[in-house]
Amino acid sequence: MTLQGWILILGFIAILLVLTRPMGTWLFALYEGRRTPLHVVLGPVERGVYKLSGIDPKAEQGWRRYALHMLLFNAALMLLTYVVLRLQGVLPGNPQGLPGLSGHLAFNTAISFTANTNWQSYGGESTMSNFSQMFGLTIHNFLSAATGIALAFALFRGFARRSATTIGNFWADVTRVTLYVLLPLCVLLTVFYIASGVPQTLAGTVDVTTLEGAKQTLALGPVASQEAIKMLGTNGGGFFNANSAHPFENPTALTNLVQMLSIFLIGFGLTWTFGKAVGNTRQGWAILSSMLILFLIGVGVTYWQEAAGNPIVHQLGIAGGNMEGKEVRFGVAATALFSVVTTAASCGAVNGMHDSFTALGGMIPLINMQLGEVVIGGVGAGIYGFLLFAILAVFVAGLMVGRTPEYVGKKIESREVKLAVLAIAILPLIILGFTAISSVVAAGLAGPLNKGPHGFSEILYAFTSGVANNGSAFAGLTANTPYYDGMLGVAMWLGRFFIILPMLAIAGSLAAKKYTPESAGSFPTTGGLWVGLLVGTILILGGLTFLPSLALGPIADHLAMISGKTF
Amino acid sequence: MTSDIKSALRPVLAMTILFALLLGIVYPLAMTGIGQAIFPRQANGSLVTQGGKVVGSTVVGQAFTSERYFQTRPSAAGKGYDGLASSGSNLGPTSQALVDRITADVAKRRAEGVGGALPADLATASGSGLDPDLSPASAFAQVARVARARNLPAERVRALVAAQVETPLLGILGDPTVNVLALNRALDASGG
């Protein structure tokens, strides 16, 4: 590890802390349905959308209707993408003449992008036409992100409202977030990326004759416009197979920094928005503090392990940190940081190959996802996932002091706790269940590239990434098979919507409650004790379940690595 | 429930179509227009031409295997630096295949007379398989071979490398790099 590396890591966090309040304030205005300076330009667009769709943005919805409209909208978008991908061969915008996708791949990809996962069983440059990238995939990058933020708003309203029967209007939330946050920021980011060397063209490929006289064909396309929302919306689906390691997606160390910042920007802001919504911004800072503690531990371990390098490789006469699967322009520090950022959030973009990380360096991304991506987390999904843990934490605290637990003015009762457990239990159930099945059936065992414990890690990582809606991979796994496309498709769908429904039910149930003012007997949810309790709850309730699987995968791999055993 | 679904039908269909058009067509096409107008070079892949021919992109790496050129890192993109098949090796830390590949690459460098521990990037495959750069140490390690192959004084080749080292932005962003295509073009231009 170097001083320079740590300055990068701490500077990265410092920039985000400065941006937290402005971003949070902007989001709060949209949460409240207030005007922003952008309404002058985009207000007519917003009103036009409502008019054509027959939507009354002021019509409040109860949690059931909010959930129903959200589900139907996502299902329609998923169907659209499935059709676009299947028919790719006959649709326009296909300069490479690529054929339509197989049924299982289109199924997997349509779910993947709808669920904000962006797991990719394919290599973008050899599978997707420009039209599919734009019309089939980019739309999900916006709308799955907007859906996540809308859902977070709905839960915030559950905490903030008193004796209410409604939690907002889904259509108004999605439209406002898309028009006033995602789209304007993406326009700025796209221009920056193009200026930095990310292509933005409708051409498919360009042929070059290398200095040595060989022919090299470079894949091009409308990359920058997709790159912008891929990071900002914590989607992570790369235009190219190598994702943000590809020089056309991420050409410089500066674009790399901007990509990492855009992954976290909205997640940081939403903690502030939450505090503002419940009337005490210290509530937001307390959440952010516990997230940052977990984040820094993760970065520390991964950076340390990657900088220390692989002793097996050192034996062969190579010095220094682990550079297998990493780009020179980023180096070890920025790649380690990126890997922890992308898995703490539900992004899943990678700027280096996690499969080739050292055993423990690659275990941290895995743990981040297994904790449910509540360390900052995906846009919207991170904070609503975190608040489920907060509900469990006040419940645990309530058990210890023998009082009815309260959180930000709401009594937490058995219904909320049951629903929170239901939402959180889906992760281990599917991750471990599907990994176990895939470790014994032939179609599952055909997947891994690597042998030994690392092969098991590849399977575990795939289902963890799918259920947690991350999308990054230990990419050695051959996943474009009917078995993995199908299993992962189901895993991604359940991982997204099986958490959302109980969460919205909690929002509805909280909104209906009266306000309970804080008293001398309330457990304080702003100080250091609370932050510690949150961290402990997440690690114990979220993490402990996975320890045996980690022992079989990365920990066994690490022990093999330090004793020089190869497979 | 049925009436709920019925009432949702129009917003679902209209919003799906409207946003698909706005985000899937208008946005990327508008960005393409802006990019092509303001930054045409970058928007089309930052291509480098030499003698009327496109010889590569400043951004993307290409294969250099001749001993007369500075060689790029091992690549897992297709058969090496395939611009249509970007990929890392995805070999894990305890992979025997990784050990075999690195052993062969190290032996090749040893045969060229490179002693001591090799810089980490020289014998490892990048994440994209299209890494355009080398670390300065990996470039300097190839100076003696290139100078021999081109009958140039080693000092002159070393100076060419030194001139191509790009320092990180603000001293902290990323690692120092040498763009291999730029270096090799400078090498060709130096008349060796």
What's the CA gap between A268 and A376, in Å, rounded?
6
Q: A3-32 and A253-277 helices cross at what angle (nearest 10)?
A: 40
Is B24 in Cβ contact with A52 (below 8 Å)?
no
| List of chain A residues whose C-beta atoms are within 8 Å of the C-beta of residue B189 | none
Chain B residues 114-143 with a CB less than 8 Å from chain A? 117-135
Measured from the Cβ of residue A302, the count of other Cβ atoms closer than 10 Å reads: 28
Sign of CA dihedral A312, A316, A318, A323: negative
Interface of A with B in 348-387 (CB under 8 A): 350-353, 355-359
Q: How far apart are CA A199 and CA A237, in angstroms?
A: 16
pLDDT digits (tens, 9 = 90+) for B25-44: 999 999 999 999 999 999 99
Number of A/B CB contacts below 8 angstroms equals: 385
Q: Which of A56, A209, A218 to mutate to test the interface with B (most CBs of B within 10 A)?
A: A218
Flag if B131 and A8 touch (Cβ within 8 Å).
Answer: no
Which of A211, A223, A342 is the mutation pick for testing B, counting most B CBs within 10 A?
A211
**B59 touching A (Cβ < 8 Å):** yes
The tens digit of pLDDT for each residue in A367-418 reads 999 999 999 999 999 999 999 999 999 999 988 888 889 999 999 999 999 9
Q: Is residue A446 in some structural domain?
A: no
Q: Is B146 on the interface with A (CB under 8 A)?
A: no
A240 with B79: CB under 8 angstroms?
Answer: no
Q: How confident is the model at residue B170 (pLDDT cuts 50, 70, 90)?
A: confident
Measured between beta carbons, the chain A residues lying within 8 angstroms of B27 are: 138, 183, 186-187, 225
B88-98 pLDDT, tens digit each: 999 999 999 99
Spans of chain A, pLDDT less than 50: none
Q: What range defines the domain where residue A162 resides? A: 33-278
Q: Following CA atoms B76, B77, B81, B85 in sequence, which dihedral angle do they give, to the nearest 10 degrees?
A: 180
> Is A191 a domain residue?
yes
Distance from CA of B182 to the nearest CA of A (A): 11
Inter-chain residue contact B118 with A355, CB threshold 8 Å: no
The mean pLDDT value for B39-66 works out to 97
Contact B62 A216 (CB under 8 A): yes
Contacts of B73 (CB under 8 A, 6+ apart): A328, B61, B121, B122, B124, B125, B126, B131, B134, B138
Q: Does B20 touch chain A (CB under 8 A)?
A: yes
HSE (CB half, 13 Å, CA atoms) of A531? 17
Helix axes A139-160, A381-401, angle to 10 degrees: 30
B-chain residues near A217 (CB < 8 A): 83-84
- In angstroms, rounded to a whole number, what is the distance separating the alpha carbons of residues A476 and A451? 11
Any CB–CB contact under 8 A between A209 and chain B? yes
Q: Determine whether the interchain pair A310/B93 forms a contact, defined as Cβ–Cβ distance below 8 Å.
A: yes
> In the sheet where B177-179 sits, what is the strand order?
B133-134, B177-179, B165-166
Q: For testing the chain A interface, which of B18, B95, B99 should be mutated: the one with the most A CBs within 10 Å?
A: B95
**Residue A83 placed within a domain:** yes
Rounded to a whole number of angstroms, the distance from the CA of B40 to the nearest CA of chain A is 9
Question: Which chain A residues touch B93 with a CB distance below 8 Å?
Answer: 310, 312-313, 322, 356-359, 454, 557, 561
> Residue B44's closest chain A neighbor by CA?
A199
Domain ranges for chain B? 2-43, 47-189
CB contact under 8 A, A566 and B175: no
Q: Show Cβ contacts of residue A342 under 8 Å, excluding neighbours closer than 6 positions.
A: A236, A263, A348, A349, A350, A365, A470, A472
Predicted local confidence at residue A223, as pLDDT: 98
| Contact yes or no for B173 and A319 at CB 8 A | no
Instruction: Say how far apart CA A218 and CA B107 lie, in whole Å.
Output: 31
Tell me what pLDDT residue B1 has.
Answer: 66
Say if residues A134 and B24 touch (Cβ distance below 8 Å).
yes
Min Cα–Cα distance to chain B from A179, Å:
10
Report CB contact under 8 Å: B94, A560.
yes
Residue B66 near chain A (CB below 8 Å): yes
Q: How many domains does chain A divide into? A: 1
Q: Between chains, do A252 and B174 touch, taking CB under 8 Å as contact? A: yes
- Å between B80 CA and nearest CA of chain A: 10
pLDDT tens for each residue of A264-316: 999 999 999 999 999 999 999 999 999 999 999 999 999 999 999 999 999 99
**Considering only CA atoms, which of A358, A361, A324 is closest in space to residue A340?**
A361
Contact A135 B58 (CB under 8 A): no
pLDDT at B192 over 70: no
Q: Please give, rounded to a whole number of angstroms, the shortest distance from the CA of A330 to a CA of chain B.
A: 5
State how far the Cα of A547 lies from the Cα of A431, in Å rounded to an integer: 13
Q: Which of A55, A242, A474 sits opposite B87 (nearest CB)?
A: A242
Give the three-state DSSP class for A372: coil
CB-count exposure of residue B79 (10 Å: 0-12, 13-18, 19+): exposed
b/e map of A377-413 (b: 16 or more CB within 10 Å)?
bbbbbbbbbbbbbbbbbbbbbbeeeeeebbbbbbbbe
φ and ψ at A216, to 5 degrees?
-125, 125
Q: How far apart are the CA of A138 and the nearest CA of chain B, in angstroms?
A: 6
The alpha carbon dihedral of A327, A329, A332, A338 has a sign of negative
Among A197, A312, A475, select the one facing B94 at the smallest CB separation: A312
Residue A426: what residue type?
I
pTM above 0.95, yes or no: yes
